Amino acid sequence: MNINQINKAADNLRILEAAMVEKAKSGHPGGAMGGADFTNLLYAKYLVYDPENPHWFMRDRFFLDPGHMSTMLYGALYFCGKYTIEDLQAFRQWGSVTPGHPEVDIERGIENASGPLGQGHVMAVGAAIAERFFVARFGEVVSHKTFAFISDGGIQEEISQGAGRLAGYLGLNNLIMFYDSNKVQLASMVDATSTEDTAAKYKAWNWNVIEIDGCNPVEIADALENALAEEKRPTIIIGDTVMGKGCVTENGENFEFKCSTHGNPLSKSGASYEKTISNLGGDPENPWVLFPETKELYEARKKELKAIVAERKAKFEKWASENPEKAQELQNYIDGKMPEIDYKAIAHKPNIATRAASADVLAELGDKLGNMIVSSADLANSDKTEGFIKKKGHLFAPRDFSGTFLQAGVAELTMASIMNGIALHGGLQCACGTFFVFSDYMKPAFRMAALMELPVKYVWSHDSFRVGEDGPTHEPVEQEAQLRLMEELKNHSGKNSILVLRPADSAETTIAWKMAMENKDTPTALILTRQNINDIAPKGTDRYEEAKEMEKGGYVVLECDAPDVVLVGNGSDVSLLIGAAKELEGKGVKSRVVSMPSIGLWRNQSAEYKESVIPSGVPVFGKTSGLPSTFATVVGANGMVSGLDHFGESAPAGVLEEKFGFTVEHTVSEILNFLGK
């Protein structure tokens, strides 16, 4: 290894990092300048990818956790030929491919969106799990490494606790994480917030811990070689780095280790931008230069990669020719091809909880799909995700990834971020479950899933105050309304950012799972009951076929000619409305009942379809176990929504229904008052 060449390239990277932020007049140069030595060496010597095919399935993956250090990644990928100088110069500008925090762009080598600290390295844990899953089924011929880069802030985020525990427990020896320990934060030094022994913490979690000078390429290389040889544990390389490495003042005085360089252009930090560029060997008048040493280094790596990739592909082709069935199975997984699932044939007991109906579907998926991972946050027996391994499959265990179910422990956010990493890796279906009220813990992760357009499935049971005795801490009220806001939010492809489904009976639950598995563009949330609910009687002879109308968001489940009122609800509230409609009929009021499991999909329908379901001029009454605002846009300005505007209470579900007005009698009274009768 030519140390002078390596150091020159790292300084080249630092120059570009500083220049990008300076031109944009915003950004975070200091941390990126300190992390440049590791990132440069990783891309110049260790990361294995196919320069000709960015989507090569057996490539190593690099996950950046501190997204504010994006310039470090863009600069290194520029050296790899993934960006142009013009791309770097457009940093943080409208329409550029170099946003302030990275967004997924596999063509350019960006494996994950990052920004909220902590999540990036947990996605890496998910990707590492995915890789081990494939190796367990197809052998070392598909093996590859997962690298992650984390900062002081990411280490502090609580999510790192769950990731560290799980990765160590599982023995993810394919995971290598560099901890950029510069001991400087945005507003203070690290020692103002923490004195913990990070090395001891990760050792306790069964990690291979290596402590080095994080700016010394020889020590970095030795640490990476050690990590690559590790057979039983994930590795964390704790690198002592230098915030703002190379920064100097106008007088040439050292200006490293300063908080001010964290979040300001150098010219606004107290450092001299021009003198710093000169100190690093660049031209302040034209910092947008690729050094000859850098060009030579990365061209040599490109040749090395060509040979490495060719050798690995040859080994794979030999394996494929010897194992054609396995090879085809793998290709089907990569291509996202799934076997036919006869959803209609899935049997349910009558009048069951939708979580139980979900378990029936999951049992079929677990039996038929070989490339699906399901997880639960220590609630598998209650959210019924354990149904996935009812027919076959078992739990992941330390260094045993032959299973299909991940017990995440009580770590909802960690679990959800791991699912994002599994989805980002590719080739797998993934779902995770917990109680609906605890979806709050998962919000940062499913927002990222929505942003990255990842088809993760969320199974959220115990959907209402009918949780009962567990009380208000466990009774979701505002959660559905919050999710419905995400349905209003469009992703960058112009689609609803998430598909939210609250099914009203077992038939709708089956269709909901069908929709979730067919949804390749966004996350899907299934909101399910703990309590049993009555099956909706078919209008004709085939309830399943009728329930398929829910694919339009809302549809009629109880019809009448010339209705006096349209009753709208979802989930367990639909059967309540059907009961109310039957009582109203005896009072001379004709009611149409509409089940609306997805308000987002309903909003996307044509005006003609909406009119056929909810005719204009007919009063609309909504009923929801959550906030009335859930259905506000559906009923319109002249409609009414009855719901909860307060937290729940601890009491049996039947008592709460009486106290909160969720009985047929009370609902009928509400509707009659609404109609002025």
Q: Which residues are catalytic?
A: 412
Q: What is the DSSP string of 3-43?
A: HHHHHHHHHHHHHHHHHHHHHHT-S-HHHHHHHHHHHHHII
Measured between alpha carbons, how far is 57 from 230 in angstroms, rounded to an integer? Answer: 22
Q: What is the DSSP string of 362-423?
A: HHHHHHH-SSEEEEESS-HHHH-GGGGGSSS--B-BTTB---SEEE--S-HHHHHHHHHHHH
Cβ-based neighbour number of residue 575 at 10 Å? 22
CB 245 within 8 A of CB 276: no
Measured between alpha carbons, how far is 32 from 573 in angstroms, rounded to an integer? Answer: 53
Cβ-based neighbour number of residue 71 at 10 Å? 30
- Closest C-alpha among 125, 105, 216, 224 to residue 445: 125
Given the structure tokens 């260790």, which residue do they identify? 46
The CA-atom distances, in angstroms, between 19 and each of 9, 25, 86, 273, 286 are 15, 10, 12, 8, 9
Measured between alpha carbons, how far is 396 from 398 in angstroms, rounded to an integer? Answer: 7
Token pair recorded at residue 247? 């920064």
209 in the Ramachandran plot: left (φ > 0), alpha (ψ -120 to 50) or beta?
beta
Measured between alpha carbons, how far is 362 from 354 in angstroms, rounded to an integer? Answer: 12
Measured between alpha carbons, how far is 598 from 523 in angstroms, rounded to an integer? Answer: 13
Measured between alpha carbons, how far is 297 from 59 in angstroms, rounded to an integer? Answer: 20
The CA-atom distances, in angstroms, between 490 and each of 113, 456, 487, 494 are 17, 17, 8, 5
CB 423 within 8 A of CB 455: yes
Residues near 269 by Cβ (< 8 Å), separated by ≥ 6? 29, 30, 244, 247, 255, 258, 260, 261
- Closest C-alpha among 670, 665, 598 to residue 639: 670
Measured between alpha carbons, how far is 479 from 380 in angstroms, rounded to an integer? Answer: 21
Q: What is the DSSP string of 230-261?
A: -SSS-EEEEEE--TTTT-B-TTS-B--S-GGG
Residues near 74 by Cβ (< 8 Å), separated by ≥ 6? 20, 83, 87, 88, 91, 98, 102
